Amino acid sequence: MIQLRSTALLRESCLINGSWSTASSKEAIEVRDPADGSIIAHVPSLSASEVAQAIEAAQKAFGPWSQLAAKERAQILRRWFELILANADDLAALMTAEQGKPLAEAKGEIVYAASFIEWFAEEAKRVYGEIIPAPQADKRLMVLKQPVGVCAAITPWNFPAAMITRKVAPALAAGCVIIVKPAEQTPLTALALGVLAEEAGVPAGVLQIVTGDSREVGRVLTGSDVVRKLSFTGSTEVGRILMAQCAPSIKRLSLELGGNAPFIVFDDADLDAAVEGAIASKYRNAGQTCVCANRLYVQAGVFDAFAEKLAAKVATLQVGRGTEPGVQIGPLIDEAAVEKVESHLADAVSKGARIVTGGKRHGLGGLFFEPTVLAGATGAMRVAREETFGPLAPLFRFETEEEVIALANDTEFGLASYFYTENIRRAWRVVEALEYGMIGHNTGLISNEVAPFGGVKQSGLGREGSHHGIEEYLEVKYWCSALR
């Protein structure tokens, strides 16, 4: 049982055109608690025609919503932000129940998720146009910014609230309407956000939340000519499929895809700060974030000291059910996630890596895994190329700055990267050379609502958050007016 103050937040139906509907078919999706595998709820598996109805409702809702004054949309968003904060405990409880992360982290995510709504409520009022000095005396040139229209969002399970608000808030602020398909593992947080959006006054059809078979729902959303934009967060593999599905109708795309974040510790780093940053970056959400450090490169002069300090701290991380006080590492999301960590570990050990701490499934059983540090990692191992998405930190030894930059960039991904140095000249060189959308210098935590989040190369397209985030939901219209 999930303990909630307001049971109205637990929904087992979808938000379509202002009503909470169950599917016409009897099939339902089971939502499980990853801490013990128990079924905590069922959500509908909508048919293609039910998803099509949502698209139709969105199309109808777009005109009136986009024609509201920006200030009116901002006020509704602001109310939604306040309601989310007022219900943060319940939302966090739902999130921990379906996703597994420690309650304190879930609460932190709710506050982070809400911050995007506050930010874009403010940005809604600042969508300025331009007047351009014309090259001919009798012309006047203007630029208008207008909402893209009906949008769709497909979101992952690792941040069940924030990956939704980071898309929905700028969309609604810009005057767009949006249909969200949350991950099948974590629909409850999404649906609860929908309840609060309704209460805040978001009109019918402006925000809709649909659950169902991801391929089927994805096919309907991407196949529609009415849907003008897709914003997706998830794996590069699925991003590629969705991009192809959006090609026939040339949809606008925002893609936040996989990463393979390097975390570089130079000889001149503050080692204690680097250890703290590595733990924050690697073990948050049990290692299941796309900005988690995936490859830790440590310069030869400090390698042993860093490995020892890191392993000592990692060994004290408390593993357990997210609802238990003091727990820092919850279960992984599913069996496939645990098997991926095991296979990366086995591959690395078979190629000569050494387990410094952890190294196996946790004694609690189920989906719990010991926070692990590996030394002696090399480029031949899977951990060097693939995102582990679990609590496994492989340490690679390097000698020179030039060498580590080449290693860090030797990947098709380019989302987050981190480095520790006290030398500002080196910092500039490294920042300019790293092929990443985001860089943390002397910090392992970089995400917030005011900064542009996003990647280069096969990590994606577009930016979320910051003043750039709303541009993803705006079209530029040029108006050339002749005076005679």
Work out whether 430 is an interface residue with ligand ADP (CB under 6 A): no
Is position 235 an interface residue for ligand ADP (rule: CB under 6 A)?
yes
Query: Of 36 and 184, which CB lies nearer to ligand ADP in the complex structure?
Result: 184
| H or E stretch covering 203 | none
Total Cβ atoms within 10 A of residue 448: 13
Contacts of 180 (CB under 8 A, 6+ apart): 152, 153, 154, 155, 164, 167, 168, 190, 207, 208, 209, 210
Distance of closest approach, residue 213 Cβ to ligand ADP, in angstroms: 9
To the nearest whole angstrom, how small is the minimum distance from the Cβ of residue 275 to ligand ADP?
28
Query: Which residue is closest to ligand ADP by CB?
Result: 218
Alpha-carbon span 161 to 89, nearest angstrom: 13
Q: Based on CB atoms, which residue is closest to ligand ADP, 34 or 218?
A: 218
Counting residues that bind ligand ADP (by CB under 6 A) gives: 15
Is 256 labeled as catalytic in the residue annotation? yes
Q: Which of 98, 256, 370, 401 is catalytic?
A: 256
User: Minimum CB separation from ligand ADP for residue 296, in Å?
Assistant: 22
Secondary structure in 3-state letters for 222-252 = HHCCCEEEEEEECCHHHHHHHHHHHCCCCCE
Interface residue with ligand ADP, options 71, 215, 360, 477 (CB under 6 A):
215
Closer Cβ to ligand ADP, 184 or 475, answer by number: 184
Stretch that binds ligand ADP, among 81-89, 193-201, 237-245, 301-309 (CB under 6 A): 237-245
In the complex, minimum distance from the CB of residue 364 to ligand ADP, in angstroms, rounded to a whole number:
23
- Kindly tell me which residue out of 88, 148, 238, 383 binds ligand ADP, with binding defined by CB under 6 A: 238
Q: Closest approach of Cβ 258 to ligand ADP, in Å? A: 8
User: Residue 191 is encoded by which pair of tokens?
Assistant: 């649906």
Of 310, 307, 285, 290, the residue nearest 377 (C-alpha): 307
Nearest residue to 387 via CA among 354, 358, 350, 414: 414
- Token pair listed for 134: 């014309």
Question: Which structure tokens are listed for 365?
Answer: 């059983």
**Token pair 């990947």 is at which residue?**
411
Q: Report the relative pairing of strands 460-461 and 252-256 from DSSP bridges.
A: antiparallel
CB of 105 to ligand ADP, least distance (A): 17
Q: Cβ distance 208 to 172 under 8 Å?
A: no
Task: Please give the helix or strand (H or E) that residue 172 lies within, else none.
Answer: helix 162-174
Instruction: Please report how close the Cβ of residue 214 comes to ligand ADP at its closest, in angstroms.
Output: 3
Q: Which token pair is 26?
A: 């009897």
The sheet with strand 14-16 has its strands ordered as 19-21, 14-16, 207-209, 177-181, 150-154, 227-233, 252-256, 460-461
Q: What is the largest CA-CA distance in the chain?
A: 81
Q: CB under 6 A: which stretch of 63-71, 81-89, 150-158, 274-282 binds ligand ADP? A: 150-158
Encoded amino acid at 176, one letter: C
Task: Name which position in 184, 270, 308, 342 contacts ligand ADP (CB under 6 A).
Answer: 184
Q: x/- binding map, residues 299-338, to ligand ADP, per CB under 6 A?
A: ----------------------------------------
From the number of C-beta atoms within 10 Å of its C-beta (0-12, 13-18, 19+), residue 250 rates as exposed
CA distance 64 to 172: 12
C-beta closer to ligand ADP: residue 231 or 281: 231
Which of 34, 44, 194, 234: binder of ligand ADP (CB under 6 A)? 234
The whole-angstrom separation of Cα 195 and Cα 29 is 20
Stretch that binds ligand ADP, among 54-62, 143-151, 235-243, 464-472 (CB under 6 A): 235-243
Which range, of 76-84, 100-108, 148-156, 189-197, touches ligand ADP by CB under 6 A?
148-156
Residue 75 CB coordination number (10 Å): 16
Backbone angles phi, psi at 263, to 5 degrees: -130, 110
Residue 156 as a binder of ligand ADP (CB under 6 A): the answer is yes
Q: Does 154 bind ligand ADP (CB under 6 A)?
A: yes
Exactly one of 155, 224, 294, 388 binds ligand ADP (CB under 6 A); that residue is: 155
Nearer to ligand ADP, 58 or 310 (CB): 58
Residues from 31 through 90 that contact ligand ADP (CB under 6 A): none
Smallest distance, Å, CB 444 to ligand ADP?
Answer: 21
N-to-C CA span, the chain: 72
The single residue listed with the structure tokens 């002397």 is: 442
* Residue with smaller CB distance to ligand ADP, 16 or 434: 16
Residue 342, interface with ligand ADP (CB under 6 A)?
no
Residue with Cβ nearer ligand ADP (114 or 154): 154
Sequence-distant (6+) residues with CB within 8 A of 233 are 154, 155, 156, 163, 167, 255, 256, 257, 290
The answer to the question of residue 183 lying near ligand ADP (CB under 6 A) is yes
Point out the residues that are catalytic.
256
In the complex, the residues that contact ligand ADP under the rule CB under 6 A are 154-157, 181, 183-184, 214-215, 218, 234-235, 238, 241-242
